[in-house]
Structure 1
């Protein structure tokens, strides 16, 4: 579907998209730069505002995740087991190190200045990118996990690790010797994504079974009583529910509301505090593989990219849309005042 025929709410389509599945996309914390990782063995850097491909960096294997260091460099997690750093202006590439299996996730901690990677080798590794270049010279520590790492999220000094087997470990980056908390997902099926609340009080988890769980770090009885899960990305026809995996969660940086993307091709925006859906965008051409709000919350990048949930079949081309976000779509609505007594 071309940009000309896309409904007005879908956003503008970026030129030069990846030629195979999009694994993740991230807006910079400082600008309109957008970093995109893909199964076509590339890392791409776009200027989303100008619709310009600024750089393309080749890899040996599929690139499963990416993140910025700053606007001049970024990191990639690759299926060839390697963790790489790229300097965008020069195209220079450093190998920070390697895992013993594909690297699924990469995050950069501004609080500690470290790169954190999670792998299907059932480990978490921390790297100091200021250290000597060369495989594993930058390695700070290796931390065994109960299963393969599927998703990571950071807020301040807190790191949340979601693995296969519905395990969730919460770490304090200042003391990585043991998890601060060991949990089991409150969702019954495989975790697809974890994202921390911007205010640092908890995290959201999504699963293959069309649900999202809202969790809190505080283990007090009062705080835990606030956690809940809800159904989303489902279709009901003739009394039968079709359930779609929820692949992506992205929190709005200003309002703390969040968007979810599913294999149904829809993006929904939610007010977690008031347990309401605020908005649903027009359906995208295929599955939503990844989402990212810009630093000011005024843009939302959407990866419309088939995630092979129905096997190797014909599907729409992989596409990146960037839509302008209206306040009404993401701002929580004030609670109605109770009616006065008769």
Structure 2
């Protein structure tokens, strides 16, 4: 596995045997430090061992009927869940390769999250609903929760579920209450829940939401948009806490001067990926400009900018220990081309130095 360093002097490895089409999602295991799942438009889920230092990091890949839009680990390193354009929510036995369909949405499955604490899988779809599954107890009868708009992103905090939807809508649910309601629902379909969100929010960003990431501290969340901005918000709805929320510009480049007006032109890129460090509170962002940036969300400062990569950053993810940062790139539509450039889907794993992701002292 090739190694190289950029200006940060932090080793970065590229995984061998990457997907052959655009990467839609990457997820480290919450149960170990090196297992990584990758979902791709090439209709496969890939399982890697990122601790390997040769070309044997790919453990296995799992074929699907259609492009896979999201993937996550389940109760242990041998269980995963996937969803995509075939509209199915699947459980994958990572040891045997067996796949079991848990539910089927009416449209594509865009996002998945699994709560280890509640043994609960939640799938979000473009059909404007989430399905709530308890794979170990009631695998055949998921609960359906209707929503006002199609789901773009799901993210879990220790006690909250944040759902980002079209029309800039955000719903926040209390995980314990949602799990209790779903678990107590009748065991025969149809099983449609009427669960009011703990809070309704509207995105502070004016343009389409790209992704959402919750703070591991359970204090709040961040959202990003297609228009080169990130917003940071807090769960506490008090006036004092809400006064702390803010949004800022990022992942932009100087495009020179407008030949007619002489004004500076900003080239704006979508912020495709967000991830919080599991213990330090710092945040990583990845954009269509091919850059990964580290931020201190409390002091509102950028702490590090890594060397640009040769394609759009599709996803970023810290591992459980916080010493690895996985970065997936794929050629995007920023250059106006519809077809993906062959070989542009790549996955890098950066070994973080001890102080690399620490927040800066004020």
Partner of 1:254: 279
Work out which of the residue numbers 103, 107, 111 in structure 1 matches 2:109.
Answer: 103
In the TM superposition, 1:174-193 aligns within 5 A as 174-176=176-178, 177-193=195-211
Instruction: Quote the Cα distance in structure 2 between the aligned partners of 1:120 and 1:72.
Output: 28
- TM-score normalised to structure 2 length: 0.88
Partner of 2:192: none
In the TM superposition, 1:157-176 aligns within 5 A as 157-176=159-178
Give yes or no for contact 1:111–1:157 (8 Å, CA) kept in 2.
no
- TM-score normalised to structure 1 length: 0.93
- In the TM superposition, residue 5 of structure 1 has moved relative to its aligned partner by 7.4
Instruction: Quote the Cα distance in structure 2 between the aligned partners of 1:203 and 1:89.
Output: 34
- In the TM superposition, residue 280 of structure 1 has moved relative to its aligned partner by 0.6
Note the alpha carbon deviations across 1:249-275, whole angstroms, 9 max, x for none. Answer: 011112110100000000000001111
Note the alpha carbon deviations across 1:141-193, whole angstroms, 9 max, x for none. Answer: 21111111000000123100001111100011233311111111000000001
Note the alpha carbon deviations across 1:69-92, whole angstroms, 9 max, x for none. Answer: 120110001210000011111112
Instruction: Quote the Cα distance in structure 1 between the aligned partners of 2:323 and 2:4.
Output: 23
Give yes or no for contact 1:151–1:193 (8 Å, CA) kept in 2.
yes
- Identify the range of structure 1 (157-166 vs 169-178) with the bigger mean alpha-carbon deviation: 169-178
> Secondary structure in 2 aligned to 1:40?
coil
Instruction: Quote the Cα distance in structure 1 between the aligned partners of 2:207 and 2:357.
Output: 28
Partner of 2:30: 29
- Identify the range of structure 1 (169-178 vs 34-43) with the bigger mean alpha-carbon deviation: 169-178
5+ residue gaps, structure 2 = 179-194, 257-263
Note the alpha carbon deviations across 1:85-114, whole angstroms, 9 max, x for none. Answer: 111111121111110000000110112111
Work out which of the residue numbers 338, 344, 348 in structure 2 matches 1:312.
Answer: 338
- In the TM superposition, residue 3 of structure 1 has moved relative to its aligned partner by 4.3
> Secondary structure in 1 aligned to 2:144?
strand
> Secondary structure in 1 aligned to 2:355?
helix
- Report the CA distance shift for 1:223/1:311 in structure 2 as closer, same or farther (over 3 A): same
Work out which of the residue numbers 121, 130, 137 in structure 2 matches 1:124.
Answer: 130
Note the alpha carbon deviations across 1:219-255, whole angstroms, 9 max, x for none. Answer: 1000000000011000123211010000000111121
- In the TM superposition, residue 212 of structure 1 has moved relative to its aligned partner by 0.3
- Identify the range of structure 1 (8-17 vs 249-258) with the bigger mean alpha-carbon deviation: 8-17
Partner of 2:72: 67
- In the TM superposition, residue 30 of structure 1 has moved relative to its aligned partner by 2.1
Partner of 1:268: 293
Give yes or no for contact 1:10–1:282 (8 Å, CA) kept in 2.
no
Partner of 1:142: 144
Q: How many residues align?
A: 330
> Secondary structure in 2 aligned to 1:138?
strand
Partner of 1:340: none
5+ residue gaps, structure 1 = 336-342
- Report the CA distance shift for 1:276/1:57 in structure 2 as closer, same or farther (over 3 A): same
Instruction: Quote the Cα distance in structure 1 between the aligned partners of 2:345 and 2:150.
Output: 27
* 1:325 matches 2:352: yes
